[in-house]
């Protein structure tokens, strides 16, 4: 079976793949089924944000593949005031530090909105490849994201730390309830693996 290949896709190609990408999201995150239509709408909206970039890891010519052709995906955009995640995190960072602290991380940030690999393709470096490719050449000063705060040493948080990202918020609950998250940030370009902690 061929390894998935990474491809950068434009907004139109992203819109066509939202269904298969949501299949990967559901397999990796196991959210309540009733949340998926809302996630679909959020992804559609994100594709119109400034500086949008998306990558998919797809298998070609290797069917049948139980998990489907899309094995992983990642996307992000330039964070700006008026965006829900940006404004919520800005307020929280201002509360734990001050406005200057929040500005240091979010004034010129690339926000990684989603990065997921299907469980059947995890453990092969695909998440790292998606993250590196997504952030390569970005003009922003920092990169920020949120990840489930189930444990400080989950594979995802270990990956993010390995490229120089640090915890900005932990045990954080976004408005509306749900699981707790860690908000993490790092400077761009990403540090090569392995990397010490850094701050802007």
Among 8, 2, 24, residue whose Cα is nearest residue 124: 2
Query: Do 135 and 186 meet the contact criterion of CB atoms below 8 Å apart?
Result: no
As a whole number of angstroms, the longest Cα–Cα distance in the chain is: 53
The residue from 49, 160, 181, 193 that is catalytic is: 160
Q: Which one-letter DSSP state was computed for residue 44?
A: H
9 DSSP β-pair partners? 54
119 DSSP β-pair partners? none
For the purposes of burial, counting CB atoms within 10 Å of the CB of 50, is it exposed (0-12), middle (13-18) or buried (19 or more)?
exposed
Whole-number Å distance between alpha carbons of 200 and 187: 6
Is 75 noted as a catalytic residue in this protein? no
List the catalytic residues: 160
């Amino acid at each position: 079976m061929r390894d998935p290949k990474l491809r950068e896709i434009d907004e139109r190609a992203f819109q066509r793949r939202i269904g298969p990408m949501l299949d990967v999201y559901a397999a990796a995150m196991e959210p309540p089924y009733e949340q998926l239509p809302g996630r679909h709408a959020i992804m559609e909206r994100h594709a119109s944000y400034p500086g949008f970039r998306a990558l998919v890891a797809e298998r070609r010519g290797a069917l049948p593949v139980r998990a489907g052709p899309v094995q992983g995906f990642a996307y992000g955009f330039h964070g700006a005031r008026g965006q829900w995640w940006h404004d919520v995190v800005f307020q929280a960072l201002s509360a734990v530090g001050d406005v200057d602290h929040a500005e240091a991380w979010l004034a010129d940030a690339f926000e990684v909105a989603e990065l997921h690999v299907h469980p059947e393709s995890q453990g092969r470096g695909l998440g790292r490849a998606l993250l590196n490719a997504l952030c390569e050449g970005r003009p922003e000063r920092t990169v920020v994201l949120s990840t489930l705060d189930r444990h400080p040493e989950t594979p995802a948080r270990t990956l993010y730390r390995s490229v120089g990202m640090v915890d900005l918020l932990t045990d954080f609950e976004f408005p509306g309830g749900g699981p707790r998250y860690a908000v993490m940030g790092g400077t761009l370009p990403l540090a090569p693996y392995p990397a010490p902690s850094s701050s802007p």
